[in-house]
Amino acid sequence: MAPLAPDSAGRLDKLRRFMKRQDLQGIVIGAAVNVRYLTGFTGDSTFALLGTDEALLVSDGRYSEQLAQECPDWPCEIRPPSLPLIEAVARALQHLGWRRLGFESHRLTVAEWLHLQDRLPEATWCPLASAVEDIRVVKDAYEIAYIREAVQTAEKAFQEWLGQVESTATEKELADHLETALRRHGAQSSSFPIIVASGTHSALPHARPRPVPVADADWLLVDWGAVCHGYHSDLTRILIARTISAKLEEVRAWVREALERGLQAARPGARASDVDSAVRRTLAEAGYDRFFCHGTGHGLGLEIHEAPFLRPGHDTLLQPGMVFTIEPGVYIPGWGGVRLEEDILVTTEGCQVLSQLDWRLKARG
């Protein structure tokens, strides 16, 4: 899968053009996910220092070998165990001599930033809330191939698991079985702690599976995803346990309709908030909008939740290559919750749903 290579040079080029516009001599990247995106290094505890022509990774001895394998083109400074990472970064920056520096204000700790300011009193520090994230928001072909693989892996594991659902099992056991199935089908791991929620417990959008048998429940809410090569998928389905009640059928139909209208709104040039309002308006027609207590969706990629965020007030313009979820839900306290979630890719025409899995599913057993 994904025979293409990541466009590493293109990514660095975009960041350097940004630095030029902001008149930055250097940029300090400490978030592991952003270091990975820029360099290919999959470890942690490592900073990438990027200048307009120079670049340096500051890491430690645990990673010497891995750095040589994963990013052979990047010069590395390996700090001794006695030297704290942030002090090694400060010394490297003193040596590089950059004066106007960008840093990840949403990722660096206050203690780290104070330390850097203290050690480089001459430098001007420019907070950057989302420099690398702004580049990551549009996926290249390499990333899209791996996200597709993550979606397909999640689907295959789910279908196998669905054939084995026993009503005597507990929510926790079912979630554990699904996680095992994900790994067996090639996932590195689950994208997040899997949600299997039955009965009124499904009214909690982020329900934690309980050691409670699902036998008496009318339906199960299952939210799961796979990580493949660092890329995430995230799907939610409702499993009908026996005959569907009129109320459940009605709520599910409205949630499905909201999802459909979200899909119609997701196209290049639309704002992220337009998708959210299409979904929210649909649920309002049924009087269910007050039970929809979260955003409509979130970007997917190297992180499970990343830009773009589809919420009221988020006016990011959608572009081809963006990948995100659309996940309307109705959570009625004392009754239960219904959510349907799809992963979608914005195309030049509109959008493409990456999952093939039916939304009208029945549990066996």
Give the binding site for Zn ion (CB under 5 A).
Answer: 223, 234, 236, 325, 341
What is the distance, to the nearest Å, from the Cα of residue 277 to the centroid of all Cα atoms in its chain?
21
Instruction: Say how many CA atoms lie within 13 Å of 55 toward its Cβ.
Output: 17
Please state at what angle helix 8-21 crosses helix 32-39, rounded to 10 degrees.
120
Q: CB of 140: closest distance to Zn ion in angstroms?
A: 22
Q: Measured from the CB atom, is 223 or 303 closer to Zn ion?
A: 223
Q: In terms of CB distance, is 16 or 294 closer to Zn ion?
A: 294
Give min distance, CB of 253 to Zn ion, in A: 20
Q: Which is nearer to Zn ion, 15 or 194 (CB)?
A: 194
Shortest CB 342 distance to Zn ion, Å: 10
- The answer to whether the beta carbons of residues 343 and 355 sit under 8 Å apart is yes
80 secondary structure, DSSP code: -
Nearer to Zn ion, 223 or 274 (CB): 223
Reduce the DSSP state of residue 271 to 3 states and report it.
strand
Question: Cα(352)–Cα(267) distance, rounded to whole angstroms?
Answer: 10
CB of 166 to Zn ion, least distance (A): 24
State in angstroms the smallest separation of the CB of 223 from Zn ion. 4
Determine the Cα–Cα distance for residues 35 and 107; give it in Å rounded to an integer: 12
Which residues share a beta bridge with 221? 197, 238
CB closer to Zn ion out of 15 and 326: 326
As a whole number of angstroms, the longest Cα–Cα distance in the chain is 71
Q: Which is nearer to Zn ion, 63 or 309 (CB)?
A: 309
Tell me the chain's radius of gyration from C-alpha atoms. Answer: 23
Q: Please, what is the minimum distance in Å from the beta carbon of residue 234 to Zn ion?
A: 4
Q: Are 86 and 115 in contact (CB under 8 A)?
A: yes
Q: CA–CA separation, 13 vs 15, rounded Å?
A: 5
